[in-house]
Structure 1
Amino acid sequence: MDITESQKSTIADWVKRGETIAIIQRRLREEMELSLTYMDVRFLVDDLNLVYSEPEEICEIEEESAVNEEPIQESDSIEEPELVSSVEVNVDPVTPPGALVCGTVNFSDGKQMAWQLSAAGQLGLVPGDDPDYRPNPEDLQEFQSQLQQVLQKHGY
Structure 2
Amino acid sequence: MKLTEDQHARLREWLQEGASPGEIQRRLKEEFDLPLTFMEVRFLIDDLDLSFKEQAKPTAGTADLGGDPKAPGQPADTELVDDGPAGSKGSVTVTTDALTRPGTVVSGAVTFSDGVSAKWALDSYGRLALEPSQAGYQPSAQDVQEFQVELSRVLERSGF
TM > 0.5 fold call: yes
Aligned counterparts of 2:152 and 2:53: Cα–Cα separation in 1: 32
Partner of 2:83: none
SS of equivalent residue, structure 1 residue 108: coil
- Structure 1 unaligned blocks of 5 or more: 57-62, 70-80
- 8 Å CA contact 2:118–2:131 kept in 1: the answer is yes
Q: Equivalent residue of 1:127, what SS? A: strand
Aligned to 1:75: none
**Cα separation, 2, equivalents of 1:119 and 1:90:** 19
Is residue 2:33 matched to residue 1:28?
no
2:143 match: 139
The secondary structure found in structure 1 opposite 2:42 is helix
Task: Check if 1:94 corresponds to 2:94.
Answer: no
CA contact (8 A) 2:116 2:134 kept: no
Aligned-partner Cα distance in 2 for 1:135–1:17:
55
Partner of 2:72: none
SS in 2 for 1:138: helix
Q: Percent identity?
A: 38
| 137, 143, 152: which one aligns with 1:148 | 152
Q: TM-score, normalised by structure 2?
A: 0.66
Matched letter for residue 88 of structure 1: T
Letter in 1 for 2:129: L
Root-mean-square deviation over aligned CA pairs: 3.4
Q: Are positions 1:116 and 2:121 aligned together?
A: yes
Which ranges of 4 or more aligned residues in structure 1 deviate by more than 4 Å?
53-56, 81-84, 129-132
Paired residues for 1:1-156 under 5 Å: 1-52=1-52, 66=66, 85-96=90-101, 99-119=104-124, 122=126, 124-128=128-132, 132-156=136-160
Given the superposition, is the C-alpha separation of residues 67 and 153 from structure 1 closer, same or farther in structure 2, using an over 3 Å criterion? closer
Q: Following TM superposition, by how much is the alpha carbon of 1:149 offset from its aligned partner in structure 2, in angstroms?
A: 3.5
Structure 1 residue aligned with 2:73: none
CA distance in 2, matches of 1:43, 1:131: 59
Q: Is the Cα–Cα contact under 8 Å of residues 21 and 38 in structure 1 kept in the other structure?
A: yes
Please tell me whether the aligned partners of residues 115 and 123 of structure 1 are also in contact (alpha carbons under 8 angstroms).
no
Q: TM-score, normalised by structure 1?
A: 0.67
Counterpart-to-counterpart distance in 1, 2:67 and 2:133? 57
Q: Distance in 1 between matches of 2:55 and 2:138?
A: 45
Q: Which has the higher helix share?
A: 1
